[in-house]
Amino acid sequence: MAGTRTVMSGFRDFLMRGNVVELAVAVVVGAAFTGIVNAVVEGVINPLVGAFGTRDLDHYTLCLRGDCAPNSAGEVVNGIAIKWGSVISASLTFLITAAVVYFLMILPMTRFLARRRAKEPVDPVVETELQILAQIRDELIAQRAGGAASVGAQRRAAEDGAPLDKPAGGDRA
């Protein structure tokens, strides 16, 4: 029974993650939106495109073999029909859906996030890896020497224009 509880709590944690919940919302909204786009394509765009021909796009076919005349139910019995009008209709549906999703959802969200990042305070200057390694090297040298002032402090003083401390052994002539 304890194994079942851990599996169920793990499953619950998985479902409650932000990405899974957002994905579920996106699927529901996408399904509802697909119905709207299909209605627009079938009710408006197909007849407009079909106005250049003799009928709407769903009825355009190419007969490969035999007689492609439809029977009373609208099915082709004696031939192989390629329904290229339906492919164009589905392609238009996809393009319209993709354009609406991009221009009404993705583009505004990208702009919003860019503005939000621009308002965030800039992080202080971060030391480069080379600078950190140089500091570690200087501190290790100072520990070996056992001197009062660390090499890093001497180096910083030299960068500021102050003279370096003389080594413990004095001047060699």
Q: How far is CA 51 from CA 43, 48, 87, 123, 131, in A?
A: 13, 5, 18, 60, 71
Tell me, yes or no, whether 25 and 105 share the same domain.
Answer: yes
Query: Which pLDDT value is given to residue 173?
Result: 44
Tell me, yes or no, whether 68 and 145 share the same domain.
Answer: no
What is the per-residue burial (b if ≥16 Cβ within 10 Å, else e) of 104-140?
eeeeeeeeeeeeeeeeeeeeeeeeeeeeeeebeebee
Would you state the structure tokens that stand for residue 60, as one six-digit string?
Answer: 């355009």
pLDDT (tens digit per residue) in 21-51: 777 778 888 888 888 888 887 788 777 877 7
Round to whole Å and give the CA distance between 41 and 98: 13
pLDDT at 73 over 50: yes
Tell me, yes or no, whether 145 and 114 share the same domain.
Answer: no
CB 157 within 8 A of CB 164: yes
Tell me, yes or no, whether 23 and 98 share the same domain.
Answer: yes
pLDDT (tens digit per residue) in 88-112: 888 888 888 888 878 887 888 889 9
pLDDT at 161 over 70: no
Residue 5, Cβ neighbours under 10 Å: how many?
A: 9
Tell me, yes or no, whether 148 and 82 share the same domain.
Answer: no
Which of the 8 DSSP states describes residue 55? Answer: S
Tell me, yes or no, whether 54 and 114 share the same domain.
Answer: yes
What is the per-residue burial (b if ≥16 Cβ within 10 Å, else e) of 18-55?
eeeeeeeeeeeeeeebeeebeebbbeebbeebbeeeee
**Domain interval for residue 155:** 129-159
pLDDT (tens digit per residue) in 126-156: 678 888 889 999 999 999 987 545 555 666 6
- The amino acid that residue 173 corresponds to is A
The structural domain count of the chain equals 2
- The amino acid that residue 172 corresponds to is R
Tell me, yes or no, whether 154 and 69 share the same domain.
Answer: no
Q: Is this structure's pTM higher than 0.75? A: no
pLDDT (tens digit per residue) in 12-23: 777 677 677 777
Tell me, yes or no, whether 63 and 114 share the same domain.
Answer: yes
pLDDT at 114 over 80: yes
Tell me, yes or no, whether 70 and 21 share the same domain.
Answer: yes
Question: Which domain CATH number covers 58?
Answer: 1.10.1200.120
